[in-house]
Structure formats: structure tokens, C-alpha cells
Amino acid sequence: MELRRALELRRALERRLTTANRRRHDGRIRLTGRHWTALTGFAVTAVLVAGGLGLPSGPSVRVDPSRVAAARQHLAALAVVAERPPHEQAYQRSAFGPAWSDDAGVADSGNACDTRNDILRRDLTVTDSVAIATCATAVAAGRLRSPYTGREIVFTRGRESAAVQIDHVVPLAYAWDMGARDWPAPQRLAFANDPANLLAVDGPSNQAKSDLEPGRWMPELEGFRCQYAIAFVTVAAGYRLPVDSRSHRVLAAALGRC
């Protein structure tokens, strides 16, 4: 069942390549076909890990060497700054638009379901759905094996729903500090809701990571660090974000162990 979900996800992402390329003219999507090819493999691996088919601990899940090579090329092409600039205390999440907007001009936008539920449905093994104001098929219950820890979580909508949270692989505050402050508002909205930059994970990992860059935080599950590095590098390249030198070294090391 999980393998079928992964293959379906791969086909869906591949169909989005042409969509992403068509939308480049308005500045809201910057991912090229090469970026999406790398992220297709990342998303499939994330589903396999979340569904329990990947290794919950130990060595990395095997990654297509062509994706690793592409990510290394992206990393080599990224602008590198000595360190992350001091974070602006005046920064607010609202700078990236309404949370989980279905009108962000990215993959799955306009499907009458908010971004959070799009990602929950993509990454969880869903056992029940419910209609809510922002999504007719919102996830009501399911299971997730967090790619950051390898531990399984039972998700139930309601008081315990924070057990599963949606992480921005490239944190919004980090993107802001590295140049997103100068982007037009539609581009920031797209970045915050781009499925390529989103992953369902366990709540404690998401809270521990906060807005930290790879130089200061990487997933606890060492077997997922290669995939995490691929996603981070590909998104940063797609949105033309620089990376701090410490993170550059950490990402290079992670890709070197793929």
C-alpha cells in the first residue's frame, strides 16, 4: 500500500514539472525541471520512510546517484556568505502571507484544500477524513513515521493534532534573513506553501529545529540526512537563496555520505 502511494506521488510530482516551468514568468515559482527531478525522489523517499518502508535507524536509504550528483552541483553553485545575518527582531510569520494558503500559485494550490492538509494527506497513512471549512477531505486520523526520528506517531485531529507538525525544510525566518525580505509578497507566499519545502514530522523535532539552519541542526535520524540535504539544497537553489558557510560544510558532508 505504501509503495503504491509513493509511486502515485512520484507520478503526480512529475506531472507538475511543466506546471512549475509555466509559472516562472511571474516570479512565484523558481524551481526548474532539474530541481523538481531531485525533489521527486526526495518526496518519494520521505513517503517510504514515513510509511515504515525505509530504515527507521542505521544506514541511509539508498538514493539515486543522479539526484545526489544534481544536489552537489546545486550546492556548488549556491552563493555562500560567511554567516547568517543577525535576525531581525521585527520579523513576523505574516511576512510570508496567510498560513497554509490554498492560493499560493504552487503545486496543489487551488484544490479547495489548505496546504497543511495537502501535506498531511501526502505524508501520512490516512485512516479517516473529515470535511472542514478549509478542506473537504481534511485528515482526521492516520499514522506517520517521522522522517526526522524514525519513530511512529498516531495522528488524531483535535487536541493531540500537534503531535504531527509541518516543517519548512528551509525555515521561513532563515530565508528571510538570507534575502527573502526583498522578495515580492507573492513569492514569499509561494515559498511558504511550496510542497517541495514542506514535510510532515514529529512535533518535538519541529520545535527543536525552530528556524535553525543545517549548520546548527540536522535530523536526529542519520539515515535521513542525505535526503534532507538534497531537499534543502534543491529548494535553496530553486529560490536563489544563499547559504551560510557553516551550513554549506554540513550539507556537503551529508551529501558526501549519501
The whole-number mean pLDDT for each consecutive block of 10 residues of the chain, a chain of 258 residues, reads: 45 41 43 50 47 44 90 98 92 96 96 98 98 97 98 95 97 97 97 98 97 98 97 98 98 97
Q: Considering only the C-alpha atoms of the chain, give the largest distance between any 2 of them, rounded to a whole number of Å.
A: 48
Q: Sign of the CA dihedral 32, 44, 128, 146?
A: negative
Task: Name the pTM for this structure.
Answer: 0.80
C-alpha to C-alpha distance for 159 and 157, rounded to whole angstroms: 7
| pLDDT score at 205 | 98
| pLDDT score at 60 | 54
| pLDDT score at 98 | 97
| pLDDT score at 63 | 87
| pLDDT score at 35 | 53
| pLDDT score at 146 | 98
Answer yes or no: are the C-beta atoms of 40 and 107 closer than 8 Å.
no
107 alpha carbon, distance to own chain's centre: 13
| pLDDT score at 41 | 52
Answer yes or no: are the C-beta atoms of 97 and 192 closer than 8 Å.
yes
Nearest 5°: the CA angle 180, 186, 190 is 75
| pLDDT score at 90 | 86
C-alpha to C-alpha distance for 103 and 90, rounded to whole angstroms: 26
Work out the burial of residue 106: count CB atoms within 10 Å of its CB; fewer than 13 is exposed, 13-18 middle, 19 or more buried.
buried
Answer yes or no: are the C-beta atoms of 215 and 55 closer than 8 Å.
no
135 three-state secondary structure: strand
Q: What is the CA radius of gyration of the chain?
A: 17
